[in-house]
A = this chain, B = another copy of it.
Amino acid sequence: MDVFLLFSGGKDSSLSAILLEPFFNVTLVTCNFGWKETWKPAKNVASELGFPHEVLRIDGAVLESAYSIALCDGYPNHAIDYIHLRALRCVASAHPGCAIADGTRRDDRVPMLKLPDAQRLEDRYGCTYIRPLLGYGRRAVDTLVAAHLEIVEDESEKIEKSDYETELRAIIEERCSSEMVRTIFPMHAQSRVVRRGLQR
């Protein structure tokens, strides 16, 4: 079965791809609003991991709405959730009848579809929605990452990523200020996947 996995190039979506690999034909999908070409780091990681990769253009109006939500809230959670659901719908529409997937894991708060939203997504788009890491907590994920991926960690602003945050940061910086970006997105450690690790 073909599965199209939302892919940021980060360790969670990379690990999700590796967990799906023995059971599905995995294609990695990075969403982009056309605001900034943020998909390149993800494309490079996909190539290092050896998976096919595609860029899916999402309507810029989604980013505009997410920008408004983030500015109104003063924090990014609802804006990220808003984008994530629309990205999943977009992948489901682009690949009818296929499975779609993301890298959300048990202890994540954002982005995270609640059970009824996950079921509604499947019913509405006739798709199969898979979250291979949902049953894995931090300890299990760390163990698998150590075994299967080589990563580097740094502060969020210094890591080139292809997640939704990157374009949301860019639009906020351009329309408001970099000060506002730092207010809405407090600094936190981020990771970047370099390549597959030596399996121990």
Dominant secondary structure of chain A at its interface with chain B: mixed
Asked if B119 and A107 make an inter-chain contact with CB atoms under 8 angstroms apart, the answer reads yes
* Chain B residues with CB under 8 A of A133: 135
* Chain B residues with CB under 8 A of A147: 1, 23
Q: A110-164: which have CB < 8 Å to B?
A: 115, 118-119, 122, 128-137, 139-140, 143-144, 147-148
Q: How far is the CB of A140 from chain B (nearest CB, A)?
A: 5
Is A99 in the interface zone, CB < 8 Å from B? yes
Asked if B137 and A134 make an inter-chain contact with CB atoms under 8 angstroms apart, the answer reads no
Copies in the complex: 2
Asked if A122 and B139 make an inter-chain contact with CB atoms under 8 angstroms apart, the answer reads yes
Choose among B119, B139, B144 the residue that contacts A137 (Cβ–Cβ < 8 A).
B119
Given the complex of chains A and B, what is the CA–CA distance between A27 and B143 in angstroms?
18
Q: How far is the CB of A131 from chain B (nearest CB, A)?
A: 3
Is A180 in the interface zone, CB < 8 Å from B? no
| Residues of chain A at interface, number, CB under 8 A | 28
Asked if A136 and B140 make an inter-chain contact with CB atoms under 8 angstroms apart, the answer reads no
Asked if B106 and A134 make an inter-chain contact with CB atoms under 8 angstroms apart, the answer reads yes
Asked if B137 and A128 make an inter-chain contact with CB atoms under 8 angstroms apart, the answer reads yes
Is A22 in the interface zone, CB < 8 Å from B? yes
Q: How far is the CB of A92 from chain B (nearest CB, A)?
A: 13
Is A176 in the interface zone, CB < 8 Å from B? no
Asked if B143 and A118 make an inter-chain contact with CB atoms under 8 angstroms apart, the answer reads no
Residues on A lying within 8 angstroms of B by beta carbon are: 1, 19, 22-23, 99, 104, 106-107, 115, 118-119, 122, 128-137, 139-140, 143-144, 147-148
6 closest A-B pairs (Cβ-Cβ)? A131-B135, A134-B135, A128-B139, A134-B134, A22-B22, A128-B140
